Structure 1
Amino acid sequence: MTAPGRRSSTFTRLLRHGFTDLSGAERLLDLDVLAAVRGDSVLLDALGATADPDLALRGLVRLAEAQPDGPRELLATLLGAKPLRDRLLGVLGTSEALGDHLARHPDDWRALATYESADLHPGVEEFERGLAEASDPVALRVAYRRCLLAIAARDMCGTTGVAEAAAELADLATATLRAALALARTAAPEDAALCRLAVIAMGKCGGHELNYVSDVDVIFVGEPADGADETKALQAATRLASHLMRICSETTVEGTIWPVDANLRPEGRNGPLVRTLSSHLAYYERWAKTWEFQALLKARAVAGDPELGAAYIDAVSPLVWHAADRENFVPDVQKMRRRVIDNIPVTEVDRELKLGPGGLRDVEFAVQLLQLVHGRSDATLHSGTTLDALAALAAGGYVGRFDAVQLAEAYRFLRTLEHRIQLFRLRRTHLVPEDDTDLRRLGRSMGLRTEPVTALNREWRKHASVVRRLHEKLFYRPLLDAVAQLAPGESRLSAKAAGQRLEALGYADPAAALRHLEALSSGVSRKAAIQRTLLPVLLGWFADSADPDAGLLNFRKVSDALGKTPWYLRLLRDEGAAAENLARVLSAGRLAPDLLLRAPEAVAILGAPEGLEPRSRGHLEPEVLAAVGRADGAEQAVAVARAVRRRELFRTAAADLIGSYGSGTGPEATTPGPGHPVPGHPDPAGPADPGALVDRVGQAVTDLTAATIAGALRAVVREQWGDTLPTRFVIIGMGRFGGHELGYGSDADVLFVHEPREGVDEQEAGRAANAVVSELRRLLQLPTADPPLLIDADLRPEGRSGPLVRTLKSYAAYYRRWSLGWESQALLRAEPMAGDPDLGRRFTELADPLRYPAGGLDEPAVREIRRLKARMERERLPRGADPTLHTKLGRGGLSDVEWTVQLLQLRHGYELPELRTTRTRRALAAAREAGLIGEHEARTLDEAWVLATRVRNGVMLVRGRAGDTFPSDARELAAVARYLGHGPGHAGELVDEYRRTTRRARAVVEELFYGG
């Protein structure tokens, strides 16, 4: 009996070495069979280094007890040879099943005691030698387990990595299939003489990445031997194939090797087990489904007739690499992956290492889909091994280097974990166990010795999260489906293919376009490789515009500007709809490309999930003011404010252009993963009606203008007066600015108001206010390539003859005494936009009685407004302009609708508070709800106002300068029409639609504004 003190010391020692069953371990160490090594620290240290020291000790005791001549030789060799010690105990501490095998075959430990190079990295020939003496199925199982023991030993002590271990397992399976076929032929020599039979490995065995315990997927190909009848030959081949499957699959006293699964053959279980090569090809060419070609990607001839096997691979390979030409290929593969996840039991989905979200299948499906799409024209991708294929995809630029590294690292971790789970009992499973004892052993086997259960769960979840994220990014990449839809031969650019494609797509100058393509894609650099992948798709997107030549030229300019920026091409390849969005933007006109070329880094906006969402004034103004505060001097401050404006104008224009395309740009245009939207693929238009697009642009440009003016005002004040101006100062937005309806080319109509601070002389305050206005206008009018931001103060009292800035008291006196009807009408859109908020509020209170007069308007005032409107129509319409096509002053245009709505506001705004808004469409909707205008009439006016506004925005987007009339250039008109939703060749329909819509609106204006 062990003394208590000694026992306590032993327990402490065992605990320090990782044992958990301390009493059991002490009992086993005291057994006579281990007397030769009792107390030896070398053995205890070696046991403590295993995944499960208790399991390793139990296995060692069983092996020692089973030695026919006693344990002396085993234990002496164990203590004297560290490689054997590490290999043997590493296996015993990980695999209960291999411990059982060693107990049944106690001499097999000697298979771990040799260290030649062939033993360290064996191939098929070495495994064939290891199986050569097996003369029956039982002996084959024993020899197979002996070879498996050696693979596991090298794996557990780190001699091989997970990829090498998987390849060795596949090579062992190859040797086993050959040995099983030899046994079947020996058993039926008459069948062997009638036929030629080839065994094709599929799945993980074909891909050289087999698990420890897995079905081995195969396809059998048979042909008659010379002079044999085909029917009899196929019957003989079927008997041989069936016997081979039984040899490997049946359970004997030595267990089973693994099931041989032939269900990937044509017609699956319902099809014949063996077919001729011609029968296989006939099936694949006529009946095969998408998944069958995906499965053939890993096909590899492994056993039987080598010439027949090679002929099969040569025949099916072209079919594999043209599978992506099939209609709906990419969506079909994506649906198949989702179906696999949907079929996992709910209770297992979180523990499913292979099939679940973030599991091994996510990696494999993503890699295979990319291979099948891009491998049509790039033979470097034709590997059946997942990690090799992933490396080739990264080398070819199809996957980002960092993404590939992360994905490969996660895949290795998950495969290692899968191997360790299966090794324990050599059972086919992909479920992570829930028991802490199992998790502890697994964690330690993965090298996680501190808090192994916690560390294992943390590492597993981390890698699964990486896999899921990258799977969503790669597997549901919108660009992938676009590449798959290219005609065969077009998915990898060549000069000949490019020239033919350019002509077919209607490029006006194919020679110039070819020069651009050559400049972008020539060479062997990674950048050129990615461009060669992108360009075939981009050419089609450019062609879906009014000016594909301009789109390609602009793309070259942006690519040249960002050529050394590592994220640019990666963004286009990987991030949602970024590539398609960029193509749409670059080929839709001048404004957006010009803005982008002045700030190329803004292309990142097109890939971010929130990138096309206009930023509110609440976000913009603090950013502008902070940038102004960091600038040296007022001119630099305004320059940084303009930089923000440039970026945000591009954001708004891009969202407008992309939203205007409708199909192909919203999230519904691609197939997201289960429960996961596609990253970088927002719906820029929000509600899909033109009015929503107009409101979105108007609000965004107004917010941006207000933020820019606020920044410029802060810069002026800081430059001359520090923190405090001698007078309170506010800028009131008027016209479209105050109405939140600015277009891309609109001026900002304003009033300048000030009020002397307490104790400040009024003349001093006036000088300060005028200095602010003068400097503000100067700074905002400094020469720039950006769209101008012009401040127009002509709506001030007395117009151009009056002072630019007045005190609030002066405004009140003027409006009380001199105000005209048109000035009250102009104040309908007055809203503070920058400066002192309290002063702005008091100006609004001053304006309200004028724009919403008590009792409404009397008849003379109404007649005066009508007279002014008629006079404006006569005098301000440009000479020679077509009154039916002038968006601002023409028949049924913006002016007609706005004056009609404003007349309703002047007449009824006092009694109906809902009419008190500076926004035209909101006021029109309020008038309809109040019954001041009929539903049909309100809709007619709204449609005309929205259409005219969109035409003006379209002209600015296409031409890069503002205009109130349709472009006379045919290509520009076509681009405007495309922006408004009219396809190629249908620009005339836009003109007809505009005339028709505004004619109806004019009829309503005649009735409501002019009184019939």
Structure 2
Amino acid sequence: MSAPGRRSSTFTRLLRHGFTDPSAAERLLDAPELAAVRGDPVLLDALGATADPDLALLGLVRLAEAQDPAELRVLLDTLVTAKPMRDRLLGVLGASEALGDHLARHPRDWHALVTYEAADLHPGVADFERGLAGATDPVALRVAYRRCLLSIAARDVCGTTGVAQTAAELADLATATLRAALAIARAAAPEDAAMCRLAVVAMGKCGGHELNYVSDVDVIFVAEAAEGPRAADEDKALRAATRLASHLMRVCSETNIEGTIWPVDANLRPEGRNGPLVRTLSSHLAYYQRWAKTWEFQALLKARAVAGDLALGEAYVEAVSPLVWQAAERENFVPDVQKMRRRVVDNIPAAQIDRELKLGPGGLRDVEFAVQLLQLVHGRSDATLHQGSTLGALAALSAGGYVGRADAVQLDEAYRFLRAMEHRIQLYRLRRTHLVPQDEAGLRRLGRSLGLRTEPVAELNRAWRRHASVVRRLHEKIFYRPLLDAVAQLAPGEIRLSPKAAGQRLEALGYADPASALRHLEALSSGVTRKAAIQRTLLPVLLGWFADSADPDAGLLGFRKVSDALGKTPWYLRLLRDEGAAAENLARVLSAGRLAPDLLLRAPEAVALLGDPEGLKPRGRAHLEQEVLAAVGRADGAEAAVAAARGVRRRELFRTAAGDLVGSYGTEESPAEQDPGALVDRVGNALTDLNAATLAGALRAAVGAQWGERLPTRFAVIGMGRFGGHELGYGSDADVLFVHEPWEDADEQEAARAANTVVAEMRRLLQLPTSDPPLLIDADLRPEGKSGPMVRTLASYAAYYRRWSLVWESQALLRAHPMAGDADLGRRFVELVDPLRYPEGGLGEDAVREIRRLKARMESERLPRGADPTLHAKLGRGGLSDVEWTVQLTQMRHGARVPGLRTTRTREALAAAREAGLIAADDADVLDEAWVLATRVRNAVMLVRGRPGDTFPSDGRELGAVARYLGYEAGHVGDMLDDYRRTTRRARAVVDELFYGS
């Protein structure tokens, strides 16, 4: 027994070296078997370096107790003098209770840890076969297997080998074990062995050279009748092979006095456990060609011949390989694999999901499924992806540009960490588990085994959650990548095209100039750069999406221009490959017409909007105005300020146009929206808010250039027409009125001069030459029209409207809405004009006749010469003008008593008239449908041609693009025109009744 002083000193040292039960450790150190080394500080340091010093010391005492005296002296001498052996032995004892038990039962097996030669660092199958040699029965095989496992575990816990090398060694040991087990089975039944050729094909982790310490070893058995004098018929040969295979499985799987090795699982065979254990090669192929499910081809990805007749096994792997790499062409292949992964997660017990290292969200399966799916989809045309190991395949995917380099590095690090956790958890008791321990001692041992020594439990939990979070994020990004399903749907010959095949495919897809298209493809994808590799992945899919438009050539040309503009931008191709529906959205936008591509080429960085699920949603007026005013405030001078405001407008115009096109066409990820009215309202609101913000910026620039922060007069911009109605189209002018009101202490003449100067400066700034779509402000709806002053005081407007206002001006004021400048002044202007536009008592008959006369005159005088009145969206039969004048007449007649009619928006007023019973529901529906359709036609023309127009284009491709925007399939232009005529004809009939009283 130790003296109290020494006990106290030793007790403290033991605590410092990581022992959790120093009292028990003191008693163990006092064991007589350790007397020769008890005081050696080297031993205590070595124990303190293990995952669990208490467990390591207990295992050492048990091992020492099992030695005879001579062997004990050798053990203790080696322990003190040979550091590599000491670290290996104590490292194993501190990490694995099960291997400590084995050493206690087989005390001489510690010699397996003595050798430390270079060749010992990376043993292969042949080395393990030598280690298992002489094991002629199941018990001896288990002992020899554990002895080999000792050396693998020792290299692992000492850091001599990494997690991937350890997994590969475990797979090689499993291969040697299967061969030894088959030899035992053959020796027990030599007649069966003589009748057949039997091959063992490893699947899963064993096949992929990434086995765990304890795992089912998945196999498939293939057999043929033996040739030569002992040849048997096929049925007899299969029965003999089945007996051999069954015996092999029992040798490995059954438990005896030495425990078990691991279960051999043949359930991945055709028909699973209901199918025959052994089949011929031709029977396997017949099944895979006719009946196999998607998951079975995914399982075959790692197939590798490991035992028995290797020539037959390799013939099997060679025969099924083409089927594996064709699996992605199966209908619903990608959704099926994704569904299977979700099903695995759904089946995890709720109490275990947070501890599940393998199957849970952010676990090992997330990495493996993502990698395997990418392999199967892209491996059809890229043989570098034909790899069995997860980490090897991940590296190949990164090298080929299928996965981002940073993403691949993060996934690699996370996978190695999670696999290391799994290895150490299983190594402790050599049990098949993937659950992280819950007890403090288990977490502490696990953390220390991974090198986390300061606060093992806290550090382990932080690292584990961090890596799991990375895995889950990247799994969602990669595994559910929309581009994958699109690539999978391509035929093999469409993925990597020869020039001849590419030309033929381009012609078949409808490209008008295949030669030019080929030149674009060559420029984008030739070479060995990573950029070219990613383009080769994207282009086959993009070609199909471009072809789903009226002008594929324009789409491809636009893509080349954008790619050239962003060629050195690292995020661009990653965005298209990885993020949501970005690639399909870009294809739709580039091939839909001129406006959106022109905007994008002037601001290519706006491509980033296409990858953000929220990126195509218009931003509100307050947000836009804040950004515009901030940009104006930072600018040096008025012209630079307006240029900055235009930059915001350019980007937001693209956002609106792209969102409109994607919403109209839809994508694989987001089908076309079904309500055209919602699309029209969204575009109208977005363009109105954007132009209002731009005018606010121009006003701030005009004022700041001369007056700084405060103009001598209050000033407001009132929106009129479609601007005031929040119904702007892409080609609409902004109709406005300007109103001002001098401050109480201001000189009225000076205020008037300032207001006129501001208006002139705003107009000048907005008319500066630019390549952007212009923002034209039109003030012709002001009192006295072009003859009247450009800006008036609020009092002047009041006097004019009181004395001179005509009925058409009251009608025009139905759309008046404040858009920029002094909000209070804008509100008071609206209060001023409300009695004019919503007159008490409604309209007199003279006013109604005057409105009808003006409408008839407009129809006869303003419709362009030669225009087809049945196809003119604005002034034609049942077009915008017809619907709007009908609604506006209703507003002026009844607005004073029906609050819902007091709105500047056509569709809102129409809905209110219907609600109030002023327009029949069916008639209101007809008018609404016609108005929405005519508005969409105008928007389509601007999107397609890049310039405004009120009639359908005459060019065939442009007309086809308009039809595509309106939801018609290729070749249905005639249906579009017929539907337009029919819709507007019905609307005109309603207008004749409601407006003209016919």
CA distance in 1, matches of 2:666, 2:581: 13
CA distance in 2, matches of 1:500, 1:570: 29
Cα shift at 1:956: 0.3
CA distance in 2, matches of 1:492, 1:331: 23
What is the one-letter code of the residue matched to 1:661? Y
CA distance in 1, matches of 2:863, 2:409: 65
Q: Deviations over 1:807-841 (max 9, x none)?
A: 11111111111111111111111111111111111
Q: Deviations over 1:939-991 (max 9, x none)?
A: 01100100000000000000000001111111111100100001101011111
On the 8 A contact 1:348/1:431 being kept in 2, the answer is: yes
1:816 maps to which residue? 802
SS in 2 for 1:803: coil
Q: Deviations over 1:245-275 (max 9, x none)?
A: 1111111111111111111111111221111
Matched, 1:874 2:860: yes
Matched, 1:903 2:889: yes
Q: Deviations over 1:193-233 (max 9, x none)?
A: 11111110000000000000001111111111114122222
1:485 maps to which residue? 489
Q: Deviations over 1:697-727 (max 9, x none)?
A: 0000001001111111111111111111111
The correspondence for 2:274, drawn from 258, 270, 276, is 270
Matched, 1:647 2:651: yes
1:969 maps to which residue? 955
CA distance in 2, matches of 1:152, 1:958: 67
1:182 maps to which residue? 183
1:633 maps to which residue? 637
1:732 maps to which residue? 718
1:251 maps to which residue? 255
CA distance in 1, matches of 2:500, 2:128: 50
CA distance in 2, matches of 1:307, 1:4: 70
On the 8 A contact 1:659/1:665 being kept in 2, the answer is: no
On the 8 A contact 1:727/1:754 being kept in 2, the answer is: yes
CA distance in 1, matches of 2:17, 2:130: 39
| Alignment of structure 1 residues 774-793 onto 2, 5 Å | 774-793=760-779
Cα shift at 1:755: 1.1
SS in 2 for 1:350: coil
Q: Deviations over 1:630-681 (max 9, x none)?
A: 1111111111111111111111101100111146351xx6xxxxxxxxxxxx
1:114 maps to which residue? 115
Pick which of 230-239 and 807-816 moved more.
Answer: 230-239
On the 8 A contact 2:482/2:669 being kept in 1, the answer is: no
On the 8 A contact 2:738/2:791 being kept in 1, the answer is: yes
2:164 maps to which residue? 163
Matched, 1:691 2:677: yes
SS in 2 for 1:693: helix
On the 8 A contact 1:581/1:665 being kept in 2, the answer is: no
On the 8 A contact 2:584/2:667 being kept in 1, the answer is: no
| Alignment of structure 1 residues 767-806 onto 2, 5 Å | 767-806=753-792
1:87 maps to which residue? 88
1:680 maps to which residue? none
CA distance in 2, matches of 1:725, 1:491: 64
Q: Deviations over 1:507-546 (max 9, x none)?
A: 1111111111111111111111111111111111000000
| Alignment of structure 1 residues 174-573 onto 2, 5 Å | 174-227=175-228, 228-229=231-232, 230-573=234-577
Cα shift at 1:496: 2.9
Pick which of 755-764 and 1000-1009 moved more.
Answer: 755-764
On the 8 A contact 2:482/2:668 being kept in 1, the answer is: no
What is the one-letter code of the residue matched to 1:1001? A
SS in 1 for 2:715: strand
SS in 2 for 1:223: strand
Matched, 1:37 2:37: yes
Q: Deviations over 1:873-895 (max 9, x none)?
A: 11111111111111111111111
Q: Deviations over 1:438-460 (max 9, x none)?
A: 11111111111122112211211
SS in 1 for 2:169: helix
Cα shift at 1:73: 2.0
Cα shift at 1:37: 1.8
CA distance in 1, matches of 2:13, 2:732: 83
On the 8 A contact 2:55/2:93 being kept in 1, the answer is: yes
CA distance in 1, matches of 2:698, 2:134: 90
Give the TM-score, by structure 1 length. 0.97
CA distance in 2, matches of 1:76, 1:490: 69
On the 8 A contact 1:729/1:752 being kept in 2, the answer is: yes
CA distance in 2, matches of 1:497, 1:414: 45
| Alignment of structure 1 residues 838-987 onto 2, 5 Å | 838-987=824-973
Cα shift at 1:92: 0.8
On the 8 A contact 1:174/1:302 being kept in 2, the answer is: yes
SS in 2 for 1:902: helix
SS in 2 for 1:37: coil
CA distance in 2, matches of 1:762, 1:349: 76
SS in 2 for 1:365: helix
Cα shift at 1:2: 4.8
Cα shift at 1:66: 1.1
CA distance in 2, matches of 1:43, 1:15: 15
CA distance in 2, matches of 1:458, 1:497: 53
CA distance in 1, matches of 2:385, 2:667: 32
What is the one-letter code of the residue matched to 1:564? K
CA distance in 2, matches of 1:234, 1:882: 81
| Alignment of structure 1 residues 47-86 onto 2, 5 Å | 47-69=47-69, 71-86=72-87
What is the one-letter code of the residue matched to 1:835? G
CA spacing shift, 1:637–1:349, aligned 2, 3 Å: same
CA distance in 1, matches of 2:89, 2:530: 46
Give the TM-score, by structure 2 length. 0.98
CA distance in 1, matches of 2:548, 2:381: 25
Task: Give the CA RMSD over aligned residues.
Answer: 1.2
On the 8 A contact 1:493/1:535 being kept in 2, the answer is: no
Matched, 1:828 2:814: yes
Q: Deviations over 1:22-62 (max 9, x none)?
A: 21112111222221222322111111111111111111111
CA distance in 1, matches of 2:564, 2:907: 43
1:681 maps to which residue? none
Cα shift at 1:121: 0.9
What is the one-letter code of the residue matched to 2:883? V
CA distance in 2, matches of 1:843, 1:171: 86
Gaps of 5+ in 2: none
On the 8 A contact 1:734/1:748 being kept in 2, the answer is: yes
What is the one-letter code of the residue matched to 1:974? G
CA distance in 1, matches of 2:373, 2:318: 21
Cα shift at 1:71: 2.9
Pick which of 698-707 and 43-52 moved more.
Answer: 43-52
Pick which of 161-170 and 112-121 moved more.
Answer: 112-121
SS in 2 for 1:489: helix
The number of residues matched between the two structures is 994
1:718 maps to which residue? 704
On the 8 A contact 1:493/1:533 being kept in 2, the answer is: no
